[in-house]
Each structure stands twice: as structure tokens, then as C-alpha cells.
Amino acid sequence: MIKREIQNFDLYQICRSGQCFRMTAMDDGRVRILAGNRFLEAERGGREGEWLFSCGDEEFEMFWASYFDLEQDYGRWIASINPNDRYLSAAAAFGSGIRILRQDLWEMIVSFLISQQNNIARIRRCIENICEAYGEPMADESGINWYAFPTPEVLADLDEDALKACNLGYRSKYVVRAARSVRDHEIDPEAITLMNYRQSREELLKLFGVGEKVADCICLFSLHHLQAFPVDTHIRQAMEAHYKRGFPNRRYRGFQGVLQQYIFYYELFGKESGQQKEGSSGAGARQKEERSHDGQI
């Protein structure tokens, strides 16, 4: 167990932000994170901004620090928001603990193919189902068991409808065909990680079932192209209400995707009467996830 003091970092907010589906806020206050074949638990420490992580220093610095994007100064981006934009200022203040995770590309391709016309809670269950059915069993030294994310090679051998048994419905064929595209070298995930935003987006759009919205989600939440600005139902509503002439991309060039996350989170949780308290992980938050269709999709 190690301690870190981190500004603008709140795993409870990140967990509910719609960018990751293998991060779970437990009832006892811990947050459980699965990434590929890695496992981590975290909880708040006793001081402001302090977090406890269930790993050693070397693993944290070699993997998790990058995964959580801890080298970036998110406070600088929040401070750059136009003070006259009361809506965006409120959204950023409410979701100030959100960071854009650096997640595995294949995992994000599958996750956001599943996300279409779905809600956050159901996406999580679908991914848990396919990991249990087709992922490699894993265990840590303390005896905690979990499943790694299934590889493209494993899923590529399935019948196109096989993942309906994991509650994917019509999305089953999207995932299986994507796996075959990787296996058959029609797309190269490693090469995509080296491309710029425009190039990687074009490559992702070649996948069956991937449209512009899903491609932008993958670009933002895996490839860390922070200029990507996925537009789902919640974002569209916010744009219509607050940015009738369009979002001020020029002012926020290069980190629009960070602001998109603040807006999404605020639309989902912050505008309720009295507003959700930061870090809330109770029944109200779970119900909101359940009825939030077109989550980050």
C-alpha cells in the first residue's frame, strides 16, 4: 500500500464519468480498477488530496501514474476557462477530479462498440460478462480473483452472435468483426497508437460498427487525443442550451476533450436539485447511471 497526494484527482468522479467500465466504487469506499490484466484498489487517505493504492512504488510509477495521467496539470486547464462562461466554470468546478485515462486501445474499441444505445451500468455488466467468459483468470497475492480482458484472437474465433449470451445483443457482431479485423491485420492497433488524431480517427472508422461518435470516444479515452470532442445526447443538449454558435474550440484548442468530460459529468450528475456531493457513490448515483442512455456514446 502506498500513499500519494494528487490535486484534481477523484476516482469516484472518474468511475462515474463514462470513460471507463472496469472501475467500480465499492460500498466500503474502496475503488477497484481493472486495466487489461492488471488489478488495483484505491481509497481516500486521511488528508485532502491523499489516496492510498494497493501496489508498490515501482508498479505505480511504471503503469498507474501514466494510466491516471498524473503528469498533466488539470488545474491549469480549469484556470484557463473563460470566467464569463458560468456554465463551463460550474461544470469544471463540479467535476474537477476527473482526468482522462490512458486506456488500452483494444479494450476501448470493444467497450465503445458495446456502448452504442446503451447505459453505463449495462455496459459494465456486458464487459464483465465477456471477461468472465473469454478472459484469462487472474489472481493477486492476497487471493483476489479477476479476469483479464479477452484478446482479439480469442474473440475472433467466435460466431458473430456468440456474444449475445453475454447480453451484447446486436453489438455482438460488431465486437467479433472488430476482433477479426485485428487478427487478420486489416487494422493494426499498434500503428494506430502512433498516428495523429485525424489519422487514427480515419483508421477506427474502417471498423464495422464504428461511427464518428465512437471513434472520438476511442481517440479520447485510449489514444489521449485531447482535441477529440465526442458528442452524445447529453453533450448535444448542453451545446443547444449553452453554445448555440458552437463550442469555443479555438480558445480551448488541444484540451477540448477534458472540458467535454466536465460537461458530460455535470449534465449527468451536477444539475440535480442540491447537486450530488463530490465523491458520492450511493444509490442515487447508480440509478442515474441505470437510466442514462447513450452514456458516453
Residues paired with 119 in a beta bridge: 293
Apex CA 132: angle with CA 126 and CA 135, to 5°? 110
Q: Is the separation of the CB atoms in 137 and 145 below 8 Å?
A: yes
| Start-to-end CA span in the chain (Å) | 35
What is the rounded CA–CA span in Å between residue 97 and residue 11?
A: 7
Residues 6+ away with beta carbon under 8 Å from 289? 16, 119, 120, 121, 295
Asked if 244 is an active-site residue, the reply is: no
Q: How far is CA 177 from CA 88, 167, 170, 268, in A?
A: 39, 17, 12, 32
Backbone angles phi, psi at 39, to 5 degrees: -135, 140
Query: Active-site residue among 164, 206, 213, 244?
Result: 213
What is the rounded CA–CA span in Å between residue 222 and residue 179?
A: 17
Apex CA 114: angle with CA 25 and CA 120, to 5°? 30
Torsion sign (Cα): 140, 129, 111, 208: positive
Give the active site residues.
Answer: 213
